């Protein structure tokens, strides 16, 4: 009975530990292909302005970097492992054909005619981008079966990433500037049109300032009314003292009539119906045109200030990619980690073997 138990134990050990470990050793010793890793560390940096000054200090303390740069670095991370980057590398380096040439390691086989989605999954196994929340650095690693290819791919990725960062930030800046310039041009045209309307109105009506002209005319009317009252009083006094056909009375009547006619003429020039050309209409229209021109001028000044502000804000949004650690040409293959992986497999197999022995022993105890 004891010998049978020992035999079962050896069979179990061979099946669960020795045989799987031997297969793993054969794989890592014979079939596993060396993978060389080229790495670099980059960060997205703000060129101009002090945008971080408006950011709460707690956010900076928690993230260790400017939240704006953090956000754009995370965008860059997604771009590096995207299909766009994969296709760009294929266009420049034809990486699919080079990776597909490896046929010994079954776990890293690649069919060069595979669908794009399958190529992307394989690409994301070989290219990784990790963001460090503490330092704000983005670590990019590329695994390849030759040192040269890993470095070439990484340098191409960084070059495309720099273009991506510049293009995104400059695109935002250009959009802001284009909008501000469009608003300025609209305000300028509107201001020029309002000024032209005002000048044309002044030329047509032969007035420099309609309001002042109307005020002057009103002053003249007031003076004439004052003169009329005075001369009419003199005439009344003469009529009590002199005969109606006396020369003095006739002369005074002519003077009063002249003042009356002039007063009526001045009043006709000052007041009219809304569609007329008298001074009240001229003054009202002139005031409206002056108001419109003033509003247009203020809008133009505001647009000029907005363009200057947009230029400043656009400079704050300019970002550049700073390479903190440059790509290296690897000399030793980092993967696969043969001894580490074999040790991990052995530990897992021993745990599986122990659990299985425990379960089998429990079953046999229940049978007894």
Rounded to two decimals, the pTM is 0.60
pLDDT at residue number 359: 85
What is the percentage of the chain residues whose pLDDT exceeds 90? 25
Could you tell me which residues are beta bridge partners of residue 128? 141
Higher pLDDT, 50 or 365: 365
In this predicted structure, the answer to whether residue 56 has a pLDDT above a threshold of 60 is no
In this predicted structure, the answer to whether residue 49 has a pLDDT above a threshold of 60 is no
Q: 270 to each of 202, 204, 274, 285, 322, how far by Cα in Å?
A: 17, 17, 12, 14, 75
Give the max Cα distance, the chain: 170
How many CB atoms are closer than 10 A to CB 260? 14
Mean of the pLDDT values across residues 316-338?
83
pLDDT at residue number 77: 94
User: 11 is written with which tokens?
Assistant: 């069979």
pLDDT at residue number 216: 61
pLDDT at residue number 242: 72
d(CA 178, CA 306) in angstroms, rounded, equals: 12
pLDDT at residue number 273: 42
Counted residue by residue, the chain has a size of 368
pLDDT at residue number 206: 61
* Domain boundaries along the sequence of the chain: 186-314, 337-368
How many CB atoms are closer than 10 A to CB 183? 17
In this predicted structure, the answer to whether residue 307 has a pLDDT above a threshold of 80 is no
């Amino acid at each position: 009975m004891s010998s049978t138990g020992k035999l079962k134990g050896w069979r179990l050990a061979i099946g669960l530990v020795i045989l799987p470990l031997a297969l793993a050793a054969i794989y890592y010793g014979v079939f596993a292909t060396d993978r060389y890793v080229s790495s670099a560390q980059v960060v997205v940096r703000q060129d101009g302005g002090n945008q971080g000054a408006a950011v709460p200090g707690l956010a900076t303390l928690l993230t260790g970097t400017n939240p704006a740069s953090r956000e754009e670095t995370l965008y860059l991370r997604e771009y590096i492992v995207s299909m766009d980057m994969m296709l760009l590398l294929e266009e420049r380096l034809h990486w699919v054909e080079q990776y597909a040439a490896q046929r010994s390691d079954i776990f890293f086989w690649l069919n060069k005619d595979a669908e794009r989605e399958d190529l992307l999954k394989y690409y994301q196994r070989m290219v990784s981008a990790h963001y460090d929340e503490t330092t704000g650095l983005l670590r990019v690693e590329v695994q390849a079966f030759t040192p040269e290819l890993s470095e070439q791919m990484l340098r191409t990725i960084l070059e495309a990433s720099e273009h991506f960062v510049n293009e995104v930030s400059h695109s935002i800046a250009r959009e802001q500037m284009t909008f501000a310039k469009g608003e300025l041009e609209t305000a300028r045209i509107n201001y020029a049109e309002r000024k032209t309307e005002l000048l044309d109105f002044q030329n047509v009506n032969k007035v420099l300032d309609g309001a002042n002209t109307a005020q002057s005319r009103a002053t003249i009317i007031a003076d004439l009314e004052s003169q009329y009252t005075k001369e009419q009083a003199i005439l009344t006094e003469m009529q009590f003292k002199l005969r109606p056909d006396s020369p003095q009375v006739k002369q005074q009547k002519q003077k009063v009539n002249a003042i009356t006619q002039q007063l009526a003429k001045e009043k006709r020039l000052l007041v009219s119906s809304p569609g007329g050309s008298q001074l009240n209409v001229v003054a009202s229209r002139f005031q409206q045109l002056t108001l419109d021109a003033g509003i247009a001028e203020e809008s133009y000044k505001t647009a000029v200030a907005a363009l200057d502000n947009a230029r400043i804000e656009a400079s704050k949004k300019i970002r550049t990619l700073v390479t903190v650690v440059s790509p290296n040409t690897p000399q030793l293959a980092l993967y696969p980690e043969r001894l580490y992986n074999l040790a991990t497999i052995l530990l897992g197999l021993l745990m599986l073997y122990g659990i299985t022995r425990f379960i089998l022993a429990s079953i046999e105890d229940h049978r007894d």
